[in-house]
């Protein structure tokens, strides 16, 4: 048995789900002050992109985990070529960790390391930026080895994700220090931030699928053939 999914249909499904999650998050942020919706219970904490441990968090974590699985499959296939296998496994491990951190929020603990304010109000961006920079330097040769189309798609999706995850934390931190987090402006900035993260991961997942196609690799599941039945033993009359 073989199950196949067209790339075009996968893209439509991914972006339709992204639009649904992002639209629901934006809707509750805009309607919260208009309808005086509760912030601690109900639909706002369930759907808002500004909250944790809710539908958008689960969606993003699953998306990152899917990227980790796809990268692991690519790493297993790259073993035949013997080039940059560790880099593929490194990416798989990185996405697995980010998927876990999306739910557990380990990076928030890093904010206690520094007592800063202003645009560095969320000070965890400092160690995160160092890690991202070191990761980028370590993967320069790996990126140069990739086909141009794959490399460009990797860079585009990565820039979108990092802009959302790190760069937009700077104005968000400044506004949080000035006006707090329970207001529409905070919700809108965070909406843009989280939407860019989700868009970047979606584009990266599609670029991984494209890479598999370019390399001629396929991922399939086959049903084990049934074992032959033993021949019937004839009884003597």
Q: Residues 8-38: pLDDT tens digits?
A: 888 999 999 999 999 999 999 999 989 988 8
- Whole-number average pLDDT of the chain: 87
Mention every residue, 6+ apart, whose C-beta is less than 8 A from residue 65: 95, 96, 99
Read off the tokens for 97.
Answer: 């960790």
Buried b (16+ CB within 10 A) or exposed e, 153-170: bbeebbebbbebbbebbe
Whether 115 has a pLDDT exceeding 90, the answer reads no
| CA distances, 117 to each of 58, 76, 114, 175 (Å) | 30, 45, 9, 11
Q: What's the pLDDT score for residue 3? A: 54
Range in 73-77, 101-105, 171-175, 211-215 the model is least confident about: 211-215
pLDDT of 134 > 90? The answer is yes
Other C-beta atoms closer than 10 Å to the C-beta of 96 total 17
pLDDT tens, position by position, 209-230: 988 877 666 555 555 555 555 5
**C-alpha–C-alpha distance, residues 135 and 208, integer Å:** 19
pLDDT in tens, 151-163: 999 999 999 999 9
pLDDT at residue number 141:
93
Rounded percentage of the chain residues whose pLDDT exceeds 90: 60
């Amino acid at each position: 048995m073989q199950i196949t999914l067209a790339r075009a249909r996968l893209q439509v499904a991914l972006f339709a789900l992204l639009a649904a999650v992002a639209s629901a998050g934006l809707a509750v942020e805009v309607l919260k002050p208009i309808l005086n919706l509760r912030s601690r219970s109900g639909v706002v904490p369930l759907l808002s992109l500004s909250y944790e441990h809710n539908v958008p968090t689960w969606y993003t974590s699953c998306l990152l985990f899917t990227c980790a699985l796809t990268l692991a499959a690519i790493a297993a296939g790259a073993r035949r070529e013997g080039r940059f296998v560790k880099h593929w496994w490194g990416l798989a491990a990185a996405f697995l960790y980010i998927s876990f951190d999306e739910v557990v929020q380990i990076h928030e603990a890093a904010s206690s390391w520094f007592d800063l304010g202003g645009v560095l109000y969320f000070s965890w961006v400092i160690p995160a930026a160092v890690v991202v920079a070191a990761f980028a330097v370590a993967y320069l040769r790996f990126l140069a080895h990739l086909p141009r189309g794959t490399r460009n798609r990797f860079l585009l999706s990565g820039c979108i994700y990092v802009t959302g995850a790190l760069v937009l934390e700077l104005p968000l931190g400044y506004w949080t220090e000035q006006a707090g987090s329970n207001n529409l402006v905070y919700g809108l900035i965070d909406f843009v931030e989280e939407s860019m993260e989700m868009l970047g991961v979606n584009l990266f997942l599609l670029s991984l699928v494209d890479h598999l196609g370019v390399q001629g690799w396929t991922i399939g599941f086959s049903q084990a053939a049934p074992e032959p039945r033993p021949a019937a033993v004839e009884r003597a009359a």
